[in-house]
Structure 1
Amino acid sequence: MNNLIRIALPLCLFLLLSFSITPSANALQDTLPPAGWEKAGPQAHAEAVFNAMVQGDTKNAFKTLFSTGRYSKDKLEKLQFEFFRVVKKQGKPYAYEKILEHRAGTAIIHLRYVLLFRSMPMMFDLYYYSVEKGWLLKTYTISTDIKKVFER
């Protein structure tokens, strides 16, 4: 029975990934953050980013992630390099999960998402601040250290 599971699980993952490699134009539009996501909230923004990553639309994912705020070119390149390093080893991510939502008053929120790859997670900590016009992604951290998923 264990041998059957060892064979069937990778086969199922392969079939699932191969059918979702080229999403339709409508599916890509669904990954864009809703118009005015700044008002809708940080979760709408984060989930648009991770949906795009899972669908393989990394250009749109990073464009959405950095659609607000100002970040140094080095910081942007470092994140993209780390992401593509993991993709090269693990293949495209197959899912994501929100594992933490922590608020500090009404103006600051910390969201932690885990992007799931074949044999390792990639954790994203996203920190948002509510400004006059809505929510703004102020900073973020990423990690592939599974132990950090449990830190608060």
Structure 2
Amino acid sequence: MTIPKGTLFPMCGMNLAFNRELIGPAMYFGLMGDGQPIGRYDDMWAGWCTKVICDHLGLGVKTGLPYIWHSKASNPFVNLRKEYKGIYWQEELIPFFQSVTLPKDCTSVQKCYIEISKQVKAKLGKVDDYFNKLADAMVTWIEAWDELNPSGAKSAELSNGA
């Protein structure tokens, strides 16, 4: 199923396929794990960033049933401890991603991602300092991506889909 332009979705990283050359630089799953104030939102963060970028660049995003069914017993109280800030912060995150606008000169995934990082720092940095750190990590991710992927460093320059 094609996800309509302007519509966000909760991407799951367990059953995920993407074109690395087209959208790979946007697949940063954020700052998660021990010592971070939020957990289990890493794939959704990557999905929200990726969807905004794909919409801007005119790339389609599809979703559907998983090829592999994941069924794992987990402790809901442990999960709640990891997720409660994410649940609370969604009141800021969803409107943020719904209102992100990217300038016409953002013609590559990397340029779009750097622009989103600036907006994260400017708008979500006020919610919690975590988002300032995340914005810095997003820039570091793109720098590392470009260094480790020299042939694809410029990514595909695409005509703006707006």
TM-score interval for Structure 1 and Structure 2 normalised by the shorter chain: under 0.3
**Structure with more strand by fraction:** 1
TM-score for the superposition, normalised by structure 1: 0.26
Q: Which is higher, the Rg of structure 1 or of structure 2?
A: 1
Question: Which structure features the higher share of helix residues?
Answer: 2
Tell which has more relative contact order, 1 or 2 (C-alpha 8 A, sep 6+).
2
Provide TM-score, normalisation by structure 2.
Answer: 0.25
